[in-house]
């Protein structure tokens, strides 16, 4: 991190509903927990957007010089089909449908998850714990909550007593809900549930005979509630109070709300200082859903084997598309949007590789430090990647001006410019360095051949042919730029 750059990172905290100056619990260290996938199916694009968003956060914190412990869990058990603590464990259901062991399902889709995020160039977390690997820790938390009077056992199952907890705490403070409203909006038939109140949620469920995944506990042979695993794993690896907890917007209630309640009931402390939530991804303006066919998987995008897009797109282009929108904004995925992102991505890559060939001058006509500060200002404003990308496109204009002799940078500024472009493109945004040659050496040679023919036509005063070559190349997005050292081209 450059010492001459002013840094004041602000994060939008879902708990307060405002941007707050980031102050870690331990100086120069950051503890970050992000809710990972339930591995019963292929990871979908909406999940990928969330994980790309928090990969950006992780990368930027590291870039600023923080020592980050990034924990992201794998949910491999105890996740029922709905939030009413009813239904069937999704992994067990998938295993039954495919006549496989649950851990075969877990292994298959955990591998798919890792392979897909690797294609997006996501950095792996420092720790990736599993729910099944922390059953003991979950049982111990339940014991503490019972001991503190905020949970009760019924027929071998244990439930969190929301009303009892709410006597001295605020259940609903993250999602902005009031317990009185939740009670008023709940209608439940008598005898339908063994819970004291409909708002209560399961900490431990007694396993029915057909339930495959089960463990012994002081209350019954059963399995933990969905919300409990994240409380157990986040506090084990990051402490009772840590810096950042992230996840999709859909997890704010009830999952994250329940996490807060469990932590406060067991430790008496606020578990997280900054709650961050990434927004949803839509497809052609509608919610993505397999049931309606309005859905596309990441690998279907990379291979082009789908009915939604006109062509295949590289993972780095899809990542760039996601980062062109702020992580808290709804992002609509469409063929036209991806085509535009691909065009912009290649403009950046071409300019970056052109910059590497530019020589320094005796003085500078461009304020590199001011531009660099603008880049940091964007990221320091709640990781505003679209504003950073806008600054990078401003840099593209300068690079072409440098190449054409209309701008100058001395050796120090040029080195700063090159290093900063590299850092923001690849270290922070996490894009892959795809050179024009990697996109097609034959294309480069073909354009250079046409440039040669055009130069020859101009020397022969055949301006009709010269203009025809320039215009037709421009029509397909290849711009020619005449400079003192000859003609260069860029793919727009």
Query: Phi-psi region for residue 311, left (φ > 0), alpha (ψ -120 to 50) or beta?
Result: beta
Q: Are 156 and 219 in contact (CB under 8 A)?
A: yes
Are 110 and 190 contained in the same domain?
A: yes
Radius of gyration of the chain (CA): 27
Backbone angles phi and psi of 470, in degrees to 5: -60, -45
Are 352 and 396 contained in the same domain?
A: yes
Are 126 and 237 contained in the same domain?
A: yes
pTM: 0.87
486 membership: H or E segment, kind and range:
strand 486-491
Q: CA-CA distances (angstroms) from residue 12 to 5, 18, 68, 280, 366?
A: 22, 5, 19, 17, 33
**pLDDT tens track of the chain, all 492 residues?**
444 566 899 999 999 999 999 999 999 999 999 999 999 999 999 999 999 999 999 999 999 999 999 999 999 985 665 555 666 778 888 888 888 888 999 999 999 999 999 999 999 999 999 999 999 999 999 999 999 999 999 999 999 999 999 999 999 999 999 887 777 665 554 445 799 999 999 999 999 888 888 999 999 999 999 899 999 999 999 999 999 999 999 999 999 999 999 999 999 999 999 999 999 999 989 888 666 777 889 999 999 998 889 999 999 999 999 999 999 999 999 999 999 999 999 999 999 999 999 999 999 999 999 999 999 999 999 999 999 999 999 999 999 999 999 999 999 999 999 999 999 999 999 999 987 654 455 677 788 899 999 989 889 999 999 999 999 988 887 888 887 668 877 666
Backbone angles phi and psi of 273, in degrees to 5: -90, -35
Q: Is residue 120 part of a domain?
A: yes
Report DSSP state, residue 54.
Answer: H
Backbone angles phi and psi of 174, in degrees to 5: -75, -45
Distance CA 33, CA 48 (A): 16
State residue 328's pLDDT score.
Answer: 98
Q: Is residue 11 part of a domain?
A: no
Q: 135: which residues sit within 8 A by CB, 6+ positions away?
A: 215, 224
Q: Is residue 7 part of a domain?
A: no
Three-state DSSP at 75 gives strand
Three-state DSSP at 328 gives coil
CATH number at residue 351: 1.10.730
Q: Are 290 and 338 in contact (CB under 8 A)?
A: no
- The tokens describing 406, both together, are 């209309």
Count CB atoms within 10 A of the CB of residue 430: 21
The pairing of beta strand 242-248 with beta strand 286-287: unpaired
Task: Give the number of domains in the chain.
Answer: 3
Distance CA 232, CA 33 (A): 12
Q: Are 281 and 288 in contact (CB under 8 A)?
A: yes
Q: Are 183 and 204 in contact (CB under 8 A)?
A: no
Q: Which of 130, 119, 129, 122 is closest to 58 using CA atoms? A: 122
Q: Which of 281, 250, 248, 274 is closest to 260 using CA atoms? A: 274
State residue 1's pLDDT score.
Answer: 42
Q: Is residue 62 part of a domain?
A: yes
Distance CA 113, CA 443 (A): 35
Are 49 and 178 contained in the same domain?
A: yes
Are 418 and 452 contained in the same domain?
A: no
Q: Is residue 111 part of a domain?
A: yes
Q: Is residue 13 part of a domain?
A: no
Q: Is residue 115 part of a domain?
A: yes
Are 273 and 306 contained in the same domain?
A: no
Are 338 and 443 contained in the same domain?
A: no
The domain of 463 spans 436-491
State residue 189's pLDDT score.
Answer: 43
> Which of 222, 251, 278 is the last residue before a domain boundary?
278
Are 207 and 288 contained in the same domain?
A: no
Respond yes or no on whether the N-terminal peptide bond of residue 254 is cis (omega within 30° of 0).
Answer: yes
């Amino acid at each position: 991190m450059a010492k001459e750059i002013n840094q004041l990172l602000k994060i939008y905290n879902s708990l307060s509903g405002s941007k707050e100056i980031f102050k870690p619990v331990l100086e120069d260290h950051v503890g970050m927990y992000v809710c990972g996938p339930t591995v019963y199916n292929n990871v979908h694009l909406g999940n990928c957007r969330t994980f790309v968003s928090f990969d950006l956060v992780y990368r930027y914190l590291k870039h600023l010089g923080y020592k980050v412990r990034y924990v992201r869990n794998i949910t491999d058990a105890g996740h029922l089909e709905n939030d009413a603590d009813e239904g069937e464990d999704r992994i067990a259901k998938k295993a039954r449908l495919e006549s496989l062991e649950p851990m075969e399902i877990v292994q298959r889709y955990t591998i798919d998850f890792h392979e897909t995020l690797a294609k997006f160039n996501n950095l792996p977390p420092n720790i990736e714990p599993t729910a099944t690997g922390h059953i003991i820790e979950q049982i111990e938390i339940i014991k503490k909550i019972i001991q503190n009077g905020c949970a009760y056992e019924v027929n071998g199952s244990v439930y969190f007593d929301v009303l009892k907890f709410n006597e001295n705490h605020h259940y609903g403070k993250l999602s902005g809900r009031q317990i009185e409203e939740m009670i008023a909006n709940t209608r439940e038939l008598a005898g339908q549930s063994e819970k004291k109140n409909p708002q209560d949620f399961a900490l431990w469920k007694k396993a029915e005979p057909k339930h495959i995944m089960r463990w012994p506990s002081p209350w019954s042979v059963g399995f933990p509630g969905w919300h409990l695993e994240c409380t157990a794993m986040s506090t084990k690896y990051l402490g009772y109070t840590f810096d950042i907890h992230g996840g999709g917007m859909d997890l704010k209630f009830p999952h994250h709300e329940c996490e807060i309640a469990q932590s406060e009931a067991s430790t008496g402390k606020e578990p997280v200082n900054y709650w961050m939530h990434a927004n949803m991804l839509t497809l052609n303006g509608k919610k993505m859903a397999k049931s309606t066919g309005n859905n596309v998987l990441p690998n279907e995008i990379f291979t082009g084997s789908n009915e939604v897009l006109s062509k295949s797109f590289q993972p780095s282009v899809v990542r760039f598309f996601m980062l062109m929108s702020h992580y808290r904004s709804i992002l609509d995925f469409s063929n036209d949007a991806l085509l535009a992102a691909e065009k912009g991505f290649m403009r950046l890559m071409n300019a970056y590789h052109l910059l590497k060939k530019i020589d320094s001058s005796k003085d500078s006509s461009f304020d590199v430090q001011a531009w660099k500060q603008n880049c940091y200002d964007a990221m320091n404003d709640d990781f505003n990647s679209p504003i950073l990308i806008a600054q990078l496109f401003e840099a593209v204009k300068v690079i072409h001006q440098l190449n054409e002799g209309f701008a100058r940078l001395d050796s120090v500024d040029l080195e700063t410019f090159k290093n900063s472009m590299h850092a923001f493109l690849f270290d922070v945004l996490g894009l892959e360095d795809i050179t024009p040659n990697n996109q097609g050496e034959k294309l480069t040679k073909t354009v250079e051949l046409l440039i040669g023919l055009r130069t020859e036509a101009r020397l022969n005063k055949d301006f009709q042919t010269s203009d025809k070559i320039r215009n037709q190349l421009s029509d397909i997005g290849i711009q020619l730029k005449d400079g003192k050292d000859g003609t260069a081209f860029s793919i727009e």
